[in-house]
């Protein structure tokens, strides 16, 4: 399973890319607003830091303007994935950009039916939102399972399932069990994945015992 980082914070991306675990980045208008700074310059910077796909979202809602915005974003770097919302105009834009060879991430997916449409529109990625479904009393992970199953029925289908809106390590582990291609993680969720109290306790004991030997490896 690939890990994308869900943030527009360049410092966070630079720090986390040093882990060697980051395969891509996803941003959205809310994350860009939170990070501050110029959007285009930010995307350019992120694309230099991370070799994998970097999602940058259009903000228009009509086809013509979305397409123009998408082309502008795609011209920033070859690893930009243009993010479009799951609307009729968004999917029309997805099809047009995909036909030109541009990677498209279809976002705000909340149903299997929507995921089928995105795949038909040639999306490189479909982004179902787990946490936001959980928030309204639906099972976000069940949706990931449905989409993985449906896409698995069609071997020629290239759309990858990018599980978004992950809130905690259980979401990540369950997505891996289901077979999601990618999960996008807020930086704090990636950091949570390392944590186990027995790891900390065990390391503390090993180091204390090692000190008693009076030795040094280097
Ligand atoms: O980038 C899309 C998604 O990951 C947003 O997550 O936490 O705002 O529901 P969240």
69 lines ligand 1 (CB under 6 A): no
pLDDT tens column, 61-111? 999 999 999 999 999 999 999 999 999 999 999 999 999 999 999 999 999
Instruction: Catalogue all structural domains in the chain, each as residue range(s) with its CATH number.
Output: 2-213 (3.20.20.70)
Task: Find all residues with CB under 8 Å of 215, minimum gap 6, and list them.
Answer: none
Mark whether 195 is an active-site residue: no
| CA distance to 117, 125, 134, 184, per residue, from 2 (Å) | 23, 12, 22, 8
In terms of C-beta distances under 8 Å and separation of at least 24 residues, what long-range contacts does 174-181 make, across chains too?
174/141, 174/144, 175/1, 175/130, 175/141, 175/144, 176/1, 178/141, 178/144, 178/145, 178/148, 179/148, 179/152, 180/1, 180/144, 180/148, 181/1, 181/2
Atom number in ligand 1 closest to CA 167: 7
Tokens of 31: 């994350």
Q: Name the residue at shortest CA distance from atom 4 of ligand 1.
A: 165
Instruction: Please tell me the pTM assigned to this model.
Output: 0.96
Closest CA to 164 of 206, 133, 201: 133
In terms of C-beta distances under 8 Å and separation of at least 24 residues, what long-range contacts does 13-21 make, across chains too?
13/46, 13/49, 13/50, 14/49, 16/187, 16/190, 17/49, 17/50, 19/190, 21/190
pLDDT tens column, 59-68? 999 999 999 9
Of 83, 177, 195, 212, which is the active-site residue?
A: 83
pLDDT tens, position by position, for the chain (218 residues)? 999 999 999 999 999 999 999 999 999 999 999 999 999 999 999 999 999 999 999 999 999 999 999 999 999 999 999 999 999 999 999 999 999 999 999 999 999 999 999 999 999 999 999 999 999 999 999 999 999 999 999 999 999 999 999 999 999 999 999 999 999 999 999 999 999 999 999 999 999 999 999 999 99
Angle between helices 112-120 and 140-152 (to 10 degrees): 40
187 lines ligand 1 (CB under 6 A): no
Q: Name the residue at shortest CA distance from atom 6 of ligand 1.
A: 165
28 lines ligand 1 (CB under 6 A): yes
């Amino acid at each position: 399973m690939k890990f994308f980082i869900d943030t527009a914070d360049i410092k966070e991306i630079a720090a986390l890319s040093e882990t060697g675990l980051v395969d891509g980045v996803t941003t959205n208008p809310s994350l860009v607003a939170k990070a501050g700074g110029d959007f285009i310059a930010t995307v350019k910077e992120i694309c230099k830091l991370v070799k994998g796909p970097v999602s940058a979202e259009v903000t228009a809602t009509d086809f013509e303007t979305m397409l123009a915005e998408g082309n502008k974003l795609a011209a920033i770097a070859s690893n930009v994935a243009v993010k479009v919302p799951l609307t009729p105009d968004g999917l029309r834009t997805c099809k047009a950009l995909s036909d030109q060879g541009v990677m498209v991430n279809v976002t705000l997916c909340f149903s299997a039916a929507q995921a089928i449409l995105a795949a038909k529109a040639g999306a490189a990625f479909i982004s179902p939102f787990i946490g936001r479904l959980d928030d309204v009393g639906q099972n976000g992970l069940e949706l990931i399972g449905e989409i993985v199953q449906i896409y698995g029925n069609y071997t020629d289908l290239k759309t990858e399932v990018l599980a978004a809106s992950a809130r905690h390590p259980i979401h990540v582990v369950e997505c891996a069990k289901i077979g999601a291609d990618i999960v996008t993680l807020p930086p704090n969720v990636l950091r949570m994945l390392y944590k186990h109290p027995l790891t900390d306790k065990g390391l503390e004991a090993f180091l204390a015992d090692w000190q008693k030997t009076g030795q040094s490896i280097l």
